[in-house]
Amino acid sequence: MTEAVVYLYQIGFSIGIFILVSLGLAIIFGMMRVINLAQGEFIMLGAYICLFTTQAGVNFWVAALIAGLGVGVFGIIVERVLIQFLYGRIMDTLLATWGLSLFMVGLVTTVFGPQEAGVEAQLGKVWVGDYSIPEYNLVLIAIAFLLLILTFCLWRFTRAGLIVRGTMQNPGMAAALGVNTRLCYMLTFGFGSALTGFAGAIIAPIIGNQPTMGSFYIAKAFITVISGGHLPLVGTLYASGLFGATDGIVSYFYTQVLGEIAVLLAAILLLRLLPQGITGYFRRGL
């Protein structure tokens, strides 16, 4: 019985991480069709902002929110300086954001040095039989699902969400109906960045911060969003479920690297069978 609970926890935790790291990309790549290779560096930036605000004595949860806001603002700046010229040139967004990613890693290494610096672990542990599970990880799973549900509700049930979805589907028509599409693109990119930064802050206590930490998550995020298919949020949920379960089980029994390889193989097989992604045959949804 306790074993089953521990397995469930492992799988849930792994799914939670997948959702956290790919949610921002689901908006930026899935909805806006901007391949943001600097996504991992946005996560890194969120983790660093969280680190410095907690060191300044701010409560961790407040620091995480500040990190989200900070990366959101950074995202808006990036959109103004770089991305706004590249809409529709999808390959160029990939190359330009890759340059940005190199630049950010270089900058952070120069300013803060290459060494690791961790945010303190939060909360205590709970005991399941002989196994101890950090409470924080359980909270992380809850936060991941909550963020996904909140984003879904925002897009599905609010007027702002309706405008954003309309603009992404047909910018010309949206503009004709009086929507400021430039502002809309800018804010959506900022929102995606903010989610990414917040995810970075939430992840920070479980791994050490270092300038190259983004590369740990970039592969996970892209596999998830691509395999999800054309419905960014639902696709991300299903793909996270599938890959999170694969990763959780394989890493639990073998090693983390094997878990990642298993996820990659699963994704390649999946794309051979369903080239349009998991939601390829879904007619509508979000």
Partner 1 sequence: MWSMIVLFGAPNAMPKWWWWCFVGLASLVGLIIPSFTGWDVHLDLSIIFIFGMLALSMGFLWGFGGMLSFGQTAFFGLGGYTYAVWGLNFEETTFAMTLAVALPMVVALVLGYFMIYGRISAIYFTVITLVVTIVLEKAIRATSDERFVIGDVWLRGQNGISTVPDLQIPWDPGETFFVTGVYYVAFILMVLSYVGLRLLLTTPFGRVLVGIRENERRSALLGYDARRYKLMAFVLAGGLAGLSGGMYGVWGNFVAPEMMNLNSAASVVIYVIVGGKATLIGPLVGTGIVQVLTAWLGTAGVGQVNLILGLVMIAFVMIFPQGVLPSIGLAILYCLRRVRGAARGGKRPAFAPTDTALRREE
25 binds partner 1, rule: CB under 8 A: no
Among the residue ranges 14-22, 126-134, 183-191, 211-219, the one whose residues contact partner 1 (CB under 8 A):
211-219
> What element of type H or E holds 125?
strand 125-128
Q: Does 280 bind partner 1 (CB under 8 A)?
A: no
**Per CB under 8 A, 121 contacts partner 1:** no
Work out whether 207 is an interface residue with partner 1 (CB under 8 A).
no
What residue type is assigned to position 90 of the chain? Answer: I
Binding span for partner 1 by CB under 8 A among 49-57, 182-190, 214-222, 237-245: 214-222
> Is residue 215 close enough to count as binding partner 1 by CB under 8 A?
yes
Q: Does 105 bind partner 1 (CB under 8 A)?
A: yes
Among positions 11, 32, 245, 267, the unique one binding partner 1 when judged by CB under 8 A: 267
Residue 62 CA to residue 188 CA, distance in Å, equals 23
d(CA 173, CA 166) in angstroms, rounded, equals 8
CA atoms within 13 A on the CB side of 247: 25
CA atoms of 162 and 44, how far apart (whole Å):
31
What does the DSSP 8-state code read for residue 205? G
| 23 lines the binding site for partner 1 (CB under 8 A) | no
Binding-site string for partner 1 from residue 62 to residue 91, where x marks contact by CB under 8 A and - marks none = --------------------x--xx-xxxx
Distance CA 142, CA 150 (A): 12
Calpha distance 212→255 (Å, rounded): 21
Residues in the chain: 286
- Footprint of partner 1 on this chain (CB under 8 A)? 35, 82, 85-86, 88-92, 94-96, 98-107, 109-110, 215, 218-219, 222-223, 226, 255, 257, 260-261, 264, 267-269, 271-272, 275
